[in-house]
């Protein structure tokens, strides 16, 4: 969930609480009116004094409220405060403080007589007859209107959604099926394009299933496709410039080198597609998914994407220059280039509320890119360049419920470059001094050396192409060793790794020899 969405929902919760309080007030006013109108008893009472409501934070809103005294039919004398009515200063000018009653009391000879209506079952429920005959009052109606407006705002704020995972399309009214997606209809559309896009033949299809079909190179510029299913179909090298696709299903399709320039896609699924060379220059995407797709050398230059999932996608040598991505899910995606050219670039791109957790970002040009309120927990890889990189409220906390840990651009780049955070799988070697190695990690060979702890300051040293780059006191959680050598993390209660156990034994023995203290007494 992005930060703007969390803020919006928090405000929505506050508004909902306010609405409930207002509705409680309105319900109380209406209930009082109904009870007194149906079974209330009239009696004559008097205003015996006033109580002063002092508002410290807003003294201008402080007010005097009248205190009524009357006698019920059963002879009981009741004195009650009316918090809904206010008295002006002139009314209370003749009142004096009575510590016994705890009110500002009016002398008996100057008290105002008033006709009241009270509930015989609960005499404290009382109201002046004039107020009862006037109805629930303007204030109650105004409060009701305000509460309805606040309720609408709360519903709107609580109705958002987060970016993570594939984004399902919301329920839509299905339009009536029309047209066909066949070789004949696509040929007619091609002729329509060649004729200057005038006359008959434009492809406008709703609700057609063309799954598992093979189509030749198609010219589908400005086509309109709604709820068209093309699962596992072959559409490579087709052109859909300026096309409009809504609710289309292309799961598992072959869309290699398909052009979607300036196309508009809504609620479309390209999940697990072969989409190498996909060209989405200037395209507009909303609520789509490319999860698990192969997107090497794809182009997203000047594209606009919102609430779209790229979870687990393989981008390779892709271009994102000038793109704008809002609430998109890039988690577990890989941006590792497959070839030297073209370089992976995000120059000037803007990402807002996007999920980059566990993303692989090696040799990516982040120059001038902006990330606002994005998640980067578990991300790794050394970017090729990051001049002018901007981070605003980006965090590295792993879970949705964890406390946010915000980082700046410099800190993020340091974390991305820390090799012990990279998920690397090592294999065993025949060298007991260097028992683990990994080949072709960004074209380099990684070797783990066992150090002479406690003589040396670490248990392990990572060596990259013969150069020591990082010293470690424990085996990184992100690294994997062969199954027969794997161990639990190093702890003082017990280390299952043979090298760590030996190091502990050596350290304890040395301490006993030098200090004479037995290990159990440490």
Got the DSSP string for 281-299? Answer: TT-EEES-B-TT-B-TT-B
| Reported confidence tier of residue 440, pLDDT bands at 50, 70, 90 | confident
With 80 as the cut, is the pLDDT of residue 135 above it?
no
**Cβ count within 10 A of residue 303:** 27
Q: Quick one: which H or E segment has residue 19? A: helix 3-39
Q: Give residue 27's pLDDT.
A: 82
Q: What would the pLDDT profile of 28-86 be if each residue is shown by its tens digit?
A: 788 888 888 888 899 999 988 887 664 433 334 457 788 889 999 888 898 888 877 77
Q: Give residue 497's pLDDT.
A: 52
Question: Which is more confidently placed, 490 or 282?
Answer: 282
Q: What would the pLDDT profile of 395-409 be if each residue is shown by its tens digit?
A: 998 877 667 899 999
What share of the chain has pLDDT > 90, as a percent?
A: 53
**Mean pLDDT value across the chain:** 84
Question: Which is more confidently placed, 87 or 372?
Answer: 372
With 70 as the cut, is the pLDDT of residue 2 above it?
no
- Angle at which helices 3-39 and 138-158 cross, to 10°: 150
Distance CA 107, CA 96 (A): 8
| Token couple for 64 | 């005097």
C-alpha dist (Å) from residue 343 to 19, 299, 502:
54, 12, 47
With 90 as the cut, is the pLDDT of residue 394 above it?
yes
Q: Give residue 492's pLDDT.
A: 34
| Reported confidence tier of residue 489, pLDDT bands at 50, 70, 90 | very low
Q: Give residue 35's pLDDT.
A: 86
What share of the chain has pLDDT > 70, as a percent?
A: 84
Distance CA 88, CA 477 (A): 73
pTM: 0.61
């Amino acid at each position: 969930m992005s930060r703007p969405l969390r803020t919006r929902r928090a405000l929505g919760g506050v508004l909902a609480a306010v609405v409930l309080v207002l509705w409680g007030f309105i319900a109380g006013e209406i209930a009082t009116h109904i009870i007194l109108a149906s079974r209330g008893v009239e009696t004559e009472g008097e205003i015996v004094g006033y109580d002063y409501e002092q508002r410290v934070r807003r003294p201008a809103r402080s007010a005097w409220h009248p205190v009524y005294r009357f006698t019920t039919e059963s002879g009981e004398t009741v004195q009650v405060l009316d918090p809904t009515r206010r008295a002006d200063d002139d009314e209370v000018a003749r009142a004096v403080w009575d510590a016994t009653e705890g009110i500002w009391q009016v002398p008996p000879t100057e008290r105002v007589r008033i006709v009241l209506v009270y509930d015989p079952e609960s005499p404290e429920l009382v109201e002046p007859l004039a107020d009862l005959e006037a109805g629930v009052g303007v204030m109650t109606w105004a409060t009701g209107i305000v509460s309805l407006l606040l309720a609408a705002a709360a519903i709107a704020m609580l109705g958002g959604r987060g970016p993570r995972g594939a984004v399902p399309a919301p329920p839509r009214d299905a339009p009536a099926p029309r047209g066909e997606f066949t070789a004949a209809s696509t040929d007619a559309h091609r002729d329509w394009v060649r004729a200057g896009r005038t006359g008959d033949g434009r492809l406008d299809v709703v609700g057609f299933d063309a799954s598992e079909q093979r189509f030749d190179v198609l010219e589908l510029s400005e086509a309109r496709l709604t709820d068209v299913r093309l699962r596992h179909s072959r559409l490579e090298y087709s052109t859909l410039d300026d096309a409009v696709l809504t609710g289309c299903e292309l799961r598992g399709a072959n869309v290699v080198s398909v052009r979607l320039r300036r196309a508009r896609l809504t609620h479309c699924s390209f999940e697990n597609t072969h989409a190498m060379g996909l060209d989405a220059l200037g395209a507009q995407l909303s609520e789509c998914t490319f999860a698990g797709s192969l997107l090497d050398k794809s182009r997203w230059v000047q594209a606009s994407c919102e609430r779209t999932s790229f979870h687990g996608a393989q981008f390779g040598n892709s271009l994102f220059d000038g793109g704008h991505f809002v609430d998109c899910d890039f988690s577990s995606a890989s941006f590792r280039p497959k070839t030297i050219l073209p370089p992976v670039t995000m120059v000037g791109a803007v990402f807002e509320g996007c999920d980059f957790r566990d993303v692989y970002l090696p040799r990516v040009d982040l120059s001038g890119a902006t990330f606002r309120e994005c998640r980067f927990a578990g991300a790794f890889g050394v970017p090729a360049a990051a001049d002018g990189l901007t981070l605003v409220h980006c965090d590295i906390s792993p879970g949705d419920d964890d406390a946010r840990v915000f980082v700046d651009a410099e800190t993020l780049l340091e974390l991305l470059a820390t090799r012990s955070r990279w998920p690397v799988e090592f294999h065993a070697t025949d060298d007991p001094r260097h028992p683990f190695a990994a080949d072709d990690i960004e074209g380099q060979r990684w070797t783990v050396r066992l150090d002479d702890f406690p003589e040396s300051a670490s248990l392990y040293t990572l060596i990259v192409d013969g150069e020591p780059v990082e010293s470690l006191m424990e085996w990184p959680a992100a690294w994997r060793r062969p199954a027969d050598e794997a161990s639990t993390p190093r702890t003082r209660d017990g280390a299952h790794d043979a090298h760590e156990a030996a190091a502990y034994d050596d350290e304890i023995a040395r301490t006993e020899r030098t200090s004479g203290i037995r290990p159990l007494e440490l």
